[in-house]
Structure 1
Amino acid sequence: MIEAPVVVIGAGPIGLAAAAHLAERGIDFTVLEAGQSVAAAIGEWRHVKLFSPWRYDIDSAARRLLEQAGGWTEPELGVLPTGGDLIDDYLEPLTKTPELSGRVRYGAEVVAVTRVGFDRIRTAGREDAPFLVRLADGAELLASAVVDAAGTWRRPNILGGSGIPARGEAAASGHIASALPDVLGRDRERFAGRRTAVVGAGHSASTTLLELGELAEQVPGTEVLWVVRGTDQARTYGGGAADELPARGALGTRLKKLVQSGRVELVSGFRTEELALTSDGRVELIAGDRRVVADTVVNSTGFRPDHDMVGELRLDLDPILGSTRALAPLIDPNKHSCGTVPPHGVDELAHPEPGYYAVGAKSYGRAPTFLLATGYEQARSVVAALAGDWEAARDVQLDLPETGVCSSNLAYGDSDSEAAGGCCGPAPQAVEITAPTSRGLATGISGGLLTLIEDAPTKQSGCCN
């Protein structure tokens, strides 16, 4: 076998955690980051507050490297960081430690991973061949192993309710905003005084809805629609006061009150079939004979992994989730929330291709039940296996806060009272909406991704990444 470093794809929290563990074990490595800065994907939602406090957001090996380097002050563990805090107070300093300094290549987008001289079919001698990693600029690297922590942020799900793009979705792309826009900051003008439809039932949708609620209090004429496929929003509302992450529980509680007040118009049981542009410059979501008209549609329907770049490797993917087949039943969002996922590590993450491991959000495929703490333990286990320390690799332990709900757009039950707004008085009708109606909006906040994101009396966020 040619001597080559381990290549880590992605300089987000999980990729850098893998790098920290590799450094501690004295294994040569290179980190490839597609963006121009550390955790570039998180940088796009740096305004969002995680609902996991710092105690769940710092990897153990990363903490040791930061403490050894000196000059780093550990954040207060009970505080909720924003995405920007995560970068500025943790990930950026980590890349400057002696062990990681100079090991991250920026602007290095990976477009393909294969074996030198081997396509997916050839077998004899395969395990002795190094990996070949090709970048978008044509450069190539050899690797002894690949830890793929690329995440899923660049691959959002589509709006179509049947798993494929809705008719006209591509043509309406100018009216579609990606998840977690900075409603109260950078993107304010796009939403202020306008009509917005947020599609999706996860924590990122909740975050955007609550920020739009706050904006509507500030700017008259700001209108908010919440479009979901299911008829019972129990998954989105979550565990409330029983949640071990108070900010996560508060996220659902605030959103539920906002819907019950009528300040957010809930359009339930709506599976988008078509998008059409209107004569007055708006976009129309169509489901049978139902219509929803808005200036902007926020796509908060979740994300999916990019397996195309590793298409010549031998993968054993679950046909439903796109995770490994062994991991799928442990993370199935029909059965698990973020906090009930069982401990898992290298054995559950292994593919028939020795030396290739997807970790972090990408390892979960299309399941939205991922937490940073889960990804950190994955990284630790995989690196221990690469070092040949199988006892440590298989000693997998997780301590996750329970009762949180991570969902994408899954229907959950069929409660008419929930669809109508709950049991606290009159509720808005979840029916077709074809023309704007004036309404105020209660203050709100929140949404998220990557750890479960959320906020308190200002911006927040909630969701898994």
Structure 2
Amino acid sequence: MTLLDLTPRTATRPANDHLPVAIIGAGPIGLAAAAHLLRRGLDFVVLEAGDAVGASIRSWGHTRLFSPWRHLVDPVAQELLEARGWTLERPDRAPSGAELVDEYLVPLGALPGIAERLRLAVAVTDVTREGMDRTRTRGRAAAPFVVRTRDSDGTVVDTTYRAVIDASGTYLTPNSVASNGLVLPGLGDVAERVLPALPDVLGRDREAFAGRHTTVIGAGHSAANTVLALASLARDVPGTRVTWAIRSASPDRVTDSDADGLPGRASLGARARRAVADGRVALLDGFETVGARRDGDSVALVGRRGGDLVTHRTDLVVNATGFRPDLSLYREIRLDVDEVVEAPRRLAPLIDPNEHSCGTVEPHGFRELAHPEQGLFIVGMKSYGRAPTFLLKTGYEQVRSVAAWIAGDVAAAQVVELVLPATGVCSTDDGGCC
């Protein structure tokens, strides 16, 4: 499908200029988009499904990010905050997720101009064009967007907007535990024993794991974090065991290279491999999960290994297989999405995880993020689809360019720049943000 012409004359539509921009998500990228629109004097509304800013990050707030503070703060947001007396302390220190929320996102969300435009506990369920389904073309570009929301008491509201910036992320839509990507057969029978990625093993969730056998499925940094936390718990609580189940022969997605520009990330890989080598973690390699069932008080995971069907018994399962974008709200919208990565088609080759790490992704902006539906932009982690190489600094440059385009400043929108260390500064490879 051919992208529509993105010239200065289409950057704004006079008939809709009086409408605000809808920003979906009040995480780092959504609030950065708000800061950029505020700086440009454009009206907007931030729609957040959680009951506070950074709600998804709160879920894994105990986890320390790999990147230091100086890579985690949007420049325009920083200027707005500093004008109110905020300071970026210890810029070379890597914060936890909770610190990122408390020390940066909460103050940013409370800024005048943003706070009164923030709508919490409001879930976006659908996006369309006013008076048009997906099939209608005539007059489409001039029609405002309609965003349907549902609040905590079930009230459904349709509201019109001039543009939509979707920064809702992917944390709430994890990949399947099944190796083929479909819903795992038997999941309904064991669902209460299957936990989301990055549980707080040594804190909030300690009692759930103490004295039990947990199997962590996934080969990335989220899995390694959880595996190490469980190994630590096992030292203190008798009967606690951990199995690390991966599809490949080794957890090679978790690097321990001395060349890694982020010492915390390299250290994580080295410690995870050491835990396997010294027997504190049992490695179940080459295991492709195909089903699950209850087996007394245990979960029986069925998988293919070496061509044979085998059964692995455990008490709990942690799904650390990564994340995918939820595109279901765009059923009546015309998207141009890569069929493999599920990212905008122009962006997909730049972020292909088989070719790129986060340090080699080229700067990109509104053109690479554009869809045939002019004025709709999926940004941040969600823009990367299933690719795991997202970097917050990349997302900040995305929304700077998009905000400029919406404002009609196409010259600024077209100039995209991103200065990164030679080794890159990646997130957790399973969809966390660093």
Q: Normalised by the size of structure 2, how large is the TM-score?
A: 0.92
Please name the residue that 2:418 is paired with. Answer: 398
Are 2:25 and 1:15 aligned? Answer: no
* 2:117 corresponds to which of 73, 90, 103: 103
Q: Is the 8 A contact 1:337 1:406 kept in 2?
A: no
Match of 1:440 in 2: none
Q: Does 1:37 align with 2:52?
A: yes
Q: Does 1:176 align with 2:194?
A: yes
Does residue 333 (structure 1) correspond to residue 353 (structure 2)? The answer is yes
Q: 1:42 to 1:405 in 2, by over 3 A?
A: closer
After TM superposition, the structure 1 = structure 2 runs for residues 119-268 of structure 1, keeping only pairs within 5 Å, are 119-136=133-150, 137-236=155-254, 238-268=255-285
What is the CA–CA distance in structure 1 between the aligned matches of 2:226 and 2:420, rounded to whole Å?
25
Helix, strand or coil: the match of 1:73? Answer: coil
* Residues 92-123 of structure 1, C-alpha deviations (whole Å, 9 max, x = no match): 00112222121110011000010100111111
Structure 1 residue identity aligned to 2:21: V
Q: Which residue of 2 aligns with 1:352?
A: 372
Report the AA paired with residue 64 of structure 1.
Answer: E
- Per the TM alignment, residue 406 of structure 1 is displaced from its structure 2 partner at its CA by 7.0
Q: Which runs of 5+ in 1 are unaligned?
A: 409-447, 453-465
**Counterparts of 1:379 and 1:404, CA distance in 2:** 19
Write the distance in 1 (CA, Å) between the matches of 2:281 and 2:424: 25
Deviations 1:206-254 (A, max 9, x none): 1101111111111121101000011132222x15321111111111111
Alpha-carbon spacing, 1:56–1:370, altered in 2? closer, same or farther (3 Å):
same
* Distance of 1:82 and 1:247 partners within structure 2: 12
State which drifts further: 12-21 or 128-137. Answer: 128-137
What is the rounded CA distance, in whole Å, between the counterparts of 1:373 and 1:388 in structure 2? 23
Aligned runs of 1:399-438 on 2, under 5 Å?
A: 399-401=419-421, 402=423
Partner of 1:283: 299
Mapped pair 1:451 → 2:433: yes
Once the two structures are TM-superposed, the CA of residue 6 in structure 1 deviates from its matched residue by 0.4
SS at match of 2:116: coil
Instruction: Give CA-to-partner distance per residue, 1:306-345, whole Å, 9 cap, x none.
Output: 1110111110010111101111111111111222212111
For 1:110 and 1:242, locate their aligned partners in 2 and report how far apart those are by CA, in whole Å: 42
C-alpha distance 405-5 of structure 1, shift in aligned 2 (>3 A): closer
Q: 1:372 to 1:407 in 2, by over 3 A?
A: closer
Spell out, residue by residue over 1:407-442, the C-alpha distance to the aligned partner (whole angstroms, 9 max, x if none): 86xxxxxxxxxxxxxxxxxxxxxxxxxxxxxxxxxx
- Counterpart CA distance in 1 for 2:121 and 2:225 is 30
Give percent identity, aligned residues only: 50
2:40 and 2:324 map into 1 onto residues whose CA distance is 32
* Bigger RCO (CA 8 Å, 6+ sep): 1
Q: Answer whether contact 2:390 2:431 (CA < 8 A) is retained.
A: no
Does the Cα contact within 8 Å between 2:26 and 2:46 map onto a contact in 1?
yes
Counterpart in 1 of 2:90?
76
Alignment partner, residue 51 of structure 1:
66
Whole-Å Cα distance in 2 between the matches of residues 37 and 381 of structure 1?
26
Equivalent-residue separation in structure 2 for 1:32 and 1:118 (angstroms): 23
Does residue 1:298 correspond to 2:312, yes or no? no
| CA contact 1:197–1:225 (8 Å) conserved in 2 | yes
Conserved? CA contact 1:183–1:211, under 8 Å: yes
Counterpart-to-counterpart distance in 1, 2:92 and 2:425 = 17
8 Å CA contact 1:33–1:106 kept in 2: the answer is: yes
The DSSP-based 3-state class of the residue aligned with 2:250 is: coil
TM-score w.r.t. length of structure 1: 0.86
Q: How many Å separate the matches in 1 of 2:230 and 2:424?
A: 26
Return 6-15 or 163-172, whichever deviates more.
Answer: 163-172
1: CA distance, partners of 2:243 / 2:276: 10
User: Hey, what does 2:127 align to over in structure 1?
Assistant: 113
How many Å apart are 1:62 and its aligned residue? Answer: 0.4
Please, which of 55, 59, 63 is the counterpart of residue 78 of structure 2? 63
Aligned 8 A contact 2:65 2:427 in 1: no
Q: Secondary structure at the match of 1:251?
A: helix
Residues 1:90 and 1:407: Cα distance change in structure 2 (over 3 Å): closer
How far apart are residue 166 of structure 1 and its match?
2.2
Alignment map for 1:367-406 (pairs within 5 Å)? 367-401=387-421, 402=423
Say which structure is richer in strand: 2
Which of 252, 264, 274 does residue 291 from structure 2 map onto? 274
Q: Secondary structure at the match of 1:112?
A: strand
- Measured in 2, the distance between the counterparts of 1:212 and 1:449 equals 21
The answer on whether the counterparts of 1:360 and 1:378 sit within 8 Å (CA) in structure 2 is yes
Matched residue SS, 2:289:
coil
d(CA) in 2 for partners of 1:391 and 1:69? 30
Contact 1:239 1:403 in 2 (8 A): no
For residues 426 and 56 of structure 2, the distance between their equivalents in structure 1, rounded to whole angstroms, comes to 23
Gap regions ≥5 residues in structure 2: 1-14
| TM superposition shift of 1:192 | 0.8
Seen in structure 2, the aligned counterparts of structure 1 residues 222 and 214 have a Cα distance that, compared at 3 Å, is same
Once structures 1 and 2 are overlaid, which stretch shifts more, 336-345 or 35-44? 336-345
**1:30 Cα deviation from its structure 2 partner:** 0.6
- Give 1:449 shift: 4.5
- Paired with 2:185 and 2:345, the residues of 1 have a C-alpha distance of 32
Provide the C-alpha distance between the structure 2 equivalents of 1:19 and 1:404, rounded to a whole number of angstroms: 24
Count of residue pairs brought into register by the alignment: 410
| C-alpha distance in structure 2 between counterparts of 1:229 and 1:407, whole Å | 19
8 Å CA contact 1:333–1:407 kept in 2: the answer is: no
The aligned counterpart of 1:314 is 334
Deviation at 1:79, TM superposition (A): 0.8
Q: Helix, strand or coil: the match of 1:272?
A: strand
Note the alpha carbon deviations across 1:363-390, whole angstroms, 9 max, x for none. 0111111111111111111111111222
C-alpha contact 2:81 2:107 (8 A) present in aligned 1: yes
1:420 counterpart residue number: none
